[in-house]
Structure 1
Amino acid sequence: MKKGFIYLIAAVLIIITISELIGIKTLQFGSVTVTVLPLVFAVAIGMIFGIPFFRKGILKKIYSKENVGFSGQYLIIIMLPLMARYGADVAPHIKEILSIGWVFLLQELGNLGTVLLGLPVAIMLGLRREAIGATLGLGREGELAYISEKYTLNSAEGRGVLSIYLIGTLFGAIFFSIFAPFLLALGFDVKALAMSSGVGSASMMTAASSTLAAQVPEQSSTILSYAAASQLLTSFLGTYTMVFLAVPLQRFMYRTLTRGGKQHAK
């Protein structure tokens, strides 16, 4: 076993320990209360140590190209226990979830928001083919797989989806852990926010639902079960929504907005 890999495992354990010792922190912004979870601290610490300025000595070995590649390749395997936990959270509330199942199905249309809202903004910012990969979805595994199969990751579309994937990985959990309780403070129903937590990203869903559960502990089991059900449904139906709705819509909008850019959206 290479030393760099051993250092990587040790760094993960150290970061987890530090984050758990920090614990859950509550920040007050006027009338809005934001709960910051250990997950957010772990992401922040990992990001700081990954800054080139700090990558010296042992940190350089930890953040080597081999370790980064290994971590990205086996991330889905690491997430499997979390997926099993989703199923355990859903089971106790399965009757309640099935009784409003149509709402979960309807929310899948929200996945089109990245195309409807993001694509025009990306075009305005000067992106062209990169916008196809960057706005097809949240840039998680489903979009990454589709773009890599159709265009390859070495293409402009591939660079677009990879950029969003990395941004979501680095900042997604932090953003959702702040945004969810902010909406709760504005008066949004906690069950609706729990359902909307399942956006297709395990880390984002966990951050959002956990902060909501911390804000409303008496409904924590319901919040976690709704979020988990939404996440499972998004992971399953999100692919079909992307292929049969998002892709055709994106092609039409791209060609319309770029006026003759149809050769870029094949």
Structure 2
Amino acid sequence: MKKETFQYSSLKERIKTEYRVYIIAFIFILIADSIGQIKIPLGPGMLILFPIFYSLFMGILSGPQILKVMKEKEVTAASKLVIVAICPFIAKLGINAGASLSTVIQAGPALLLQEIGNLGTIFLAMPFALLLGLKREAIGATHSINRETNLALITDMYGPDSPEARGSLSIYIVGGMIGTIYFGFMATMVAALNIFHPYALGMASGVGAGIMMASATASLTEIYPAMADKISALASTSETLSGITGIYVAIFIGIPLCNKLYAFLEPKIARLRGEK
């Protein structure tokens, strides 16, 4: 998965390229926002399509491999602008957490420890990623759920043009498209079982993925409108804490574990795939 890099001949060319990215992205936002949410009842659950889904889909179609609206150098420029774009969102989550501090204290240690549970997915995801042909990209792709804070972390550790960053960004995009649908539907299905308290479901929605949290929370507030404020507060707080604790879990456990697994599994799976 080698990625071509481009060198700008002048500052003027760079500004022209990046501003074209901004303009096209803004057009996609206007179209997606005008469509709004689409809710599709499905059995006891509900599929919810969010505007980010349409934006990502339009971005894929406009790429150099399909409609060729965007050129390779513009795609390269856009990949480096992702971190800049998500910084305000990360700041907003921190503000929400501060406003819900009393709710955090009442929730106890569950909110602080839930990020540890995400580590189990590494043992399933890493072998699959290697079987699919990924190399160092697998480390960025499988070390976590790969949302805003993890994408920023991998980019800082390995660089924006590294295979690890490409793997993380790929899962970020796929999660934005498929994860929003899956989380919203899963939340309604679990709520229909009447096993867990609505507040527990709200806490479980915050796994470090803002758009997935929004999808699950929107579904839950549709089912429990009288508890909507508390569910949203717990989900937002859980989301923020997952991002904060997730950074340290990724740095000290997740990424080292992925590196160890990669070093152990990659030669074996490469031979299984018939690679030299």
TM-score by length of 2: 0.73
Conserved in 2, the CA contact under 8 Å of 1:8 and 1:67? no
**Structure 2 stretches of 5 or more lacking a match?**
1-14, 270-276
Matched, 1:75 2:49: no
- Percent identity, aligned pairs only, is 32
Partner of 2:228: 220
Partner of 1:42: 51
Q: Secondary structure at the match of 1:15?
A: helix
Partner of 1:90: 100
Deviation per CA, 1:190-248: give whole Å up to 9, x if none.
32221121111211111111211111112111211111111111111111111112123
Matched, 1:236 2:231: no
Partner of 2:256: 248
Q: Which one of 28, 33, 37 corresponds to residue 16 of structure 1?
A: 33
Written as runs of structure 1 = structure 2, the 5 A alignment for 1:116-155 is: 116-155=123-162
Partner of 1:198: 206
Q: Secondary structure at the match of 1:137?
A: coil
Q: Secondary structure at the match of 2:232?
A: helix
Determine the C-alpha separation between the residues in 2 that align with 1:171 and 1:150.
27
Determine the C-alpha separation between the residues in 1 that align with 2:153 and 2:53.
29
Q: Which one of 171, 176, 188 corresponds to residue 164 of structure 1?
A: 171
Determine the C-alpha separation between the residues in 1 that align with 2:117 and 2:245.
12
Conserved in 2, the CA contact under 8 Å of 1:26 and 1:34? yes
Q: Secondary structure at the match of 1:27?
A: strand
Q: AA paired with 2:84?
A: Y
Determine the C-alpha separation between the residues in 1 that align with 2:210 and 2:122.
21
Q: Which one of 181, 193, 196 corresponds to residue 186 of structure 1?
A: 193
Q: CA deviation at 1:161?
A: 1.8
**Structure 1 stretches of 5 or more lacking a match?**
262-266
Matched length: 246
Determine the C-alpha separation between the residues in 1 that align with 2:50 and 2:123.
33
Partner of 2:273: none
Q: AA paired with 1:12?
A: I
> Once structures 1 and 2 are overlaid, which stretch shifts more, 204-213 or 113-122?
113-122
Q: 1:99 to 1:120 in 2, by over 3 A?
A: same
TM-score by length of 1: 0.75
